Structure 1
Amino acid sequence: MERLFNLQQLGTNVRTEVLAGITTFLTMVYIIVVNPAILSAAGVPFDQVFTATIISAAVGTLIMAIFAKYPIAIAPGMGLNAYFTSVVATQGVSYQTVLGAVFLAGLLFLLLSFTKFREVLIKSIPASLKYGITSGIGLFIAFIGLRMSGIITSNPETFVTIGDLTSPVTLLSIIGLLVTLILFARKIKGALFIGMLITAVIGYFMGLLEFNGVVSAPPAFVFFDIDVAGVFTNGLYTVIFAFLLVTIFDTTGTMIGVAEQAGFMKNGEFPRAKSALAADAVATTVGATMGTSPSTAYIESTSGVAAGGRSGLTALVVGLLFLLSLFFSPLMAAISSLSAITAPVLIIVGCFMMEGLAKVKWKEFDEAFPAFIIILTMPLTASIATGMAMGFITYPILKLVSGKGKEVHPLIYLFAVIFAIQMAFFPAH
């Protein structure tokens, strides 16, 4: 192991790497409960999403471990799973068709991972739009968490209003949220996962949670349950683009952030970037064939780096622990059936995704408004693609009328035209 992962050269050892891997796993294991809870609302069978989530996470993380040799974990991304569900609800298409869009986005990402176009694409998109997209997704999933918990409910006059806070599920959600917030404030490692466990225990004694077993054989699943042809029949091109663009931004940003923290960046360059990005692309493609939304690098990997993880051995441990969790599907199914357990996670993760707002140039209107309109419209239209469209259309227009048209990359003008046509003739309802 030491020779395979160059542990001595990296100033680490097997014990440190294993502990770092366990730490990373505990901080992100919530996804194997939250992802099925969200995607099952789109009609995807729980067992199928559960298995697909774990397999895609294991495949991506193990590729990262063996080929890229970074302590970075891969799993289906938060936000994109909520977008997946919203596409099924608003476009009137089957989940198999949306899985087809994810599959195509994964293939495109895989191809782009080995070309310079990926770098050109990332550099062409202004920072304000990137931060706006990430923050908009954060608000979107936090809003979903508030709805799932019952803290917010529908109202015909005001659209939304405060819910019945005395309802057992809502009360448990609030307790779970407070417990998890306290754990984070105390900087407890694995706070999200521990918070979910505590909430589940309280829910059990409140009579809201029933278990039909803990351990079982891995659940059966349907392989390649996707409809690629339906993507073209229903014209879901902007959906593919949204999946692709958000995955590229999210993954690249996260990987660079973890690499900087671990000291891997050299003269602004990210060594073995192609292998690292390929790990995510393969995970997305494999996950789509089994039944889950796009995968991404997890910022929770920084917890493993903070614990001393510096090599692919950390990721190897994470991947193996994901595979081990396949045998606990009854436990996970019970937990996901109670929204009060997963809702606090969505709300808190939404908060994490707002960090980039501090970097938006709010005093420059042509930078601030496109970010603002993205953040505003994503949760209110329940569509990540619509929010992105608003930003990509308004940004070049404001730059042009401000006399700064030459600052905008030609690709952004192209995207603006594409999004304008899509909004005018193929709007999401």
Structure 2
Amino acid sequence: MSVTTPLQALSVDELRQRTSTKWRTYPEDVLPLFVAETDFAPAPAVTDALLRAVQLGDTGYTPPDPGIRDAYVGFAQRRFGWTVDPERIRTTCDVMMGVVEILRHVTAPGDRVIVTPPVYPPFYDCVPEAGAVIERVPLLDTGDAWQLDLAGIDAALAAGARAVLLCNPHNPTGTVHSRENLAALADIVEKHGAVVVSDEIHSPLVHRGAVFTPFLDASPAAARVGYAVISASKAFNLAGLKCALMITADDATTAVVRALPAEVEWRTGLFGALSGVAAFLPESDEWLDAQLEALDVNRSLLAELLAEHVPAARYRIPDAGFLAWIDLTDLGWGDNPAAKILREAKVALHFGPHFGDEGKGHVRLNFGCSPDVLREAVERIGALARS
């Protein structure tokens, strides 16, 4: 990754002109650091692609090959050293839709699917949507890091669970699972005749000092048992444009994805595909690196601000993404401290219990913003803690 000048976030006045969830959910006296939207202007190549489409009236149905498969193949090779076969990629609307549709076809109604809390709240919805049942195997906290509970996953699969829904990198902890752990997971899953569906939406946002391993590239066994679902939407702030990729690396898993109904692919948004192509091409690498520099500054700044203003907070600097998992248990603000912070400090954070029981006493904070916004948010929380 090249080191460049950090990307500058837009001003709050500019951001309040946006009509997305982050800026329209709460009144203007609330600083919104909850939902996973970032505060940067789009990558120039993305803006150019969307402007051209609008000017041409290119607003129709998404074609079978909008170019995003080849664009992602190049991106994966450049950024991860991962060789992807474009013929093993199929598009859909978004990552959670891809997860649901794959789970529908690899599990039977009532089958148990393992999730690893604390974890992205929609996981708790998409598994039942697919007709399956949640099996919780929480992450292990080693004191220095979080990691998969491989023994617990082995036991759950031995007891009949049929799939693992993996978050790689992990949301909300920012954990980048090691190649060794992913390969060990694949061996366990293959032993039990199960599968892994890996949500890799945060994969472009891995910071210095960490290395992202695509699950399908972790080992030959991972290639046989795995499905990956990815999108440019988190790294390039394109969630409203709707395009995700379902990727496989084995003939049997590829056959499953190819057998999904045509409507699964038809739901791909044309603007999502066009912007995804622009995001994944080399022209956007410099913008992505500049964003990573900005996020690197903020993830460390957050540690300094919490130490100064909220010393009772416990925060582990994440290895990926723009989301911070913060333990506020020692403040005595109950299971859901974000509710008090929203009400009394006028800062909107994601409610910790939504991530599972392990989220009680925790909040998730989005630091994909300007340092000034981050500073003001923590100062408000600190003032509340001192009151």
Shorter-chain TM range is: under 0.3
Higher relative contact order (CA 8 A, sep 6+): 1
Q: Tell me which protein shows more helix as a share of its residues.
A: 1
| TM-score normalised by L of structure 1 | 0.24
